[in-house]
Structure 1
Amino acid sequence: VNMLNKSSLNSKVLQSGSVFLVILLATSLLSTSYIQNSKALVQEDHEDYGYLKFASYAVKQAYAAKQNNTVNSTIHIPAIAMGPQIPAKGYLVQEIRDHLYWVTDGAYNTMFLVSNQGVIVVDAPFTIGKNYLKAIAEVTKEPVKIVIYSHAHMDHIGAASMFPANATYIAQQETATILKDHNDTSVPAPTVTFSTSYAVRLGNQTLVLDYKGVNHERGNIFIYAPTQRVLMLVDVVFPGWVPFRDLAIAEDVPGFIKAHEQALSYPFDTLVAGHLTRLGTRQDVVTQMEFVKDLKSSAINATKMFANFTKIAEQVGGFSNPWLVFKTHDDDVANQCTQTMLAKWNNRLGGANQYMSSHCAKMAESLRVD
């Protein structure tokens, strides 16, 4: 087990850009590959659910390619996006503080808390899989007693069946409803649910669970370790990187934006964000909040620039095809917003060039309908 400290993070830098760029490519191709492969891989009829499962599969393939030295990248990755070296065994486990550990494979990450009466685990990412059990076994012989679901997306909880069947499974009520609606028996159903807040206590350790409304997804919760001053919030903040496409496929963009301020209301020092190369800090939340506010401003300004639909119609031959008029408008807005944002952010956060256009389109759409 590697103890977490600044020197180890600075001295052991993962040149993870090439890996993540393969992940970006793999997930961008899912619209085609999903149709061809999802039935065999996930046995799931619901398209969004299957997409997330298949995305996890794509990440595993990307890392296999990296290990086989078949991945090369010359695209610049900002230093802020770099993380610790991932050992050859495929995962890294480090103590954050006071028996709270994080586990990462360089693309997904999560955390577990060791008490004197057992282990509390959060999530069960597909890509980490049974390496999660190995990571726990490296630091304690205590059994897993409690499993917490951050939200319902399968890429984060899809491997939960590896935990003991007699463990207590905890989720927010919305998450429990989603899982019930999907009827996915591969994931243990929550045995304890809550509405707004729930304190998880096991022996000498405590985690506080809060639901503050829809952000990334209905039921996505804030998980706070008060003794350790660690906050876990999944699929909202991406330390050192721009979010995954479409503002991390946010179900509610205003709620996604608000979640940044809600996160900063906790007195945390360390953030476990669920994805990518490293742990986060308060400054990472502040930086992404600045990014999102800048994105909103850029989308507003771009929308104002292309507000004359009559002029757009003249460019495309009239209003006979209204979808062509709207599509041209939407593309013009997204392109203008993208140019503005890349000039400011391409060298500040990783992945900006890959996903900025989707973020601009998502924000412009939210400004129109939310």
Structure 2
Amino acid sequence: MTSASPTFFQRMTRMSLIAQIAIGLVLGIALAMVAPGATKSVALLGDIFIAALKSVAPVLVFVLVTAAIASHKHGQPTHIRPVLMLYVIGTLVAAVVAVVASFAFPTTLVLNAPEVAGTPPGGILIVLKNLLLSAVTNPVKALMEANFIGILAWAIALGMVLRHASPATRTMLNDLSDAVSSIVHVVIRFAPLGIFGLVAATLGDSGLDALLGYGRLLMVIVGCMLFVALVMNPLIVFWKIRGNPYPLVFTCLRESAVTAFFTRSSAANIPVNLELCKRMGLHEDTYSISIPLGATINMAGAAITISVMTLAATHTLGINVDIPTALLLCIVSSFAAAGVSGVAGGSLLLIPMATSLFGISTDIAMQVVAIGFVISVVQDSAETALNSSTDVLLTATACAAASGEPLNLERS
């Protein structure tokens, strides 16, 4: 007796998640091209997906980090320090690439943009102060506001104390961590529908027409991000593992950058990255901390945006920028990028701080910020894709370099 052939739905569920996401991506593009008026009706799918990721991410990070540290055995190695070093190097390299590209392809702006809401920080010390204050905020408030610096600080402190708890307590924490991870897995399975809604809504947005006027600026920004993702990051990986970096690079771009591009939030992509790290077999005590930390401080894309937009303003105003000042801009934009919140458009309000190095007034700087919001449909998506995928890439690189064992990329 022959078995019935699988239905279309069964064939779809048997496909890999990446293949399903690719189908959702194509269907979203097709809907936006064929029936742009219908895109608003499916935008709810994307909104629900992002909301679900954002709601589960703070709880996941808090429980996972607490359980990992509480269960950590004395003498068992972790690789947090090498990851942090790679985060710093990657962000500085991205800033240098942005400055070099801005000199090679100078861009000017039409500074008649409307005013935008929001107040930029007064300087780099204010950014660092805010980071420190975030670390000591109320834990309930940190969870409610998705303040991952505060969540990490409390999770680490609680985990350190619970290392001396009874075995039953630590077993309960591990069970709770597994339960929350299972919920995350269910949310991620709905990524194809979420991507479908996000793509359709984005392409159906009439604001895309405004991008044509800033094509050169977008080419410089996105070009820098592609160069970092496909050239500089692979060089960093090769330096650490002394092997072909591109299988790992393409895995991270395929499975992390795609979802991050459409969610436009490093914080929302934390569950996706944690799931990817788990599938690659990385050291849990390392990635459970480095991934949420990277979503806050590893901001290569933000460093590129800040540097390119700042130098575009100087070119527009005819301000001469010498090499020492350009190097200072690299350092400032890198530190400023570390203070960017992991939400859409988080890097733009830091532009006035960078432009102040060249004596540019806040009024003009905020016009540059407004232009940033106009192009953010593409700029912020590409920035988040680079930021989030690099979190996984550098974490995996540090783990692979320390263990000397190949990563499990086939299952990813």
**TM-score of the pair, normalised by structure 2:** 0.23
The structure in which a higher percent of residues are helix is: 2
Question: Which one has more relative contact order, counting CA pairs under 8 Å at least 6 apart?
Answer: 2
The structure in which a higher percent of residues are strand is: 1
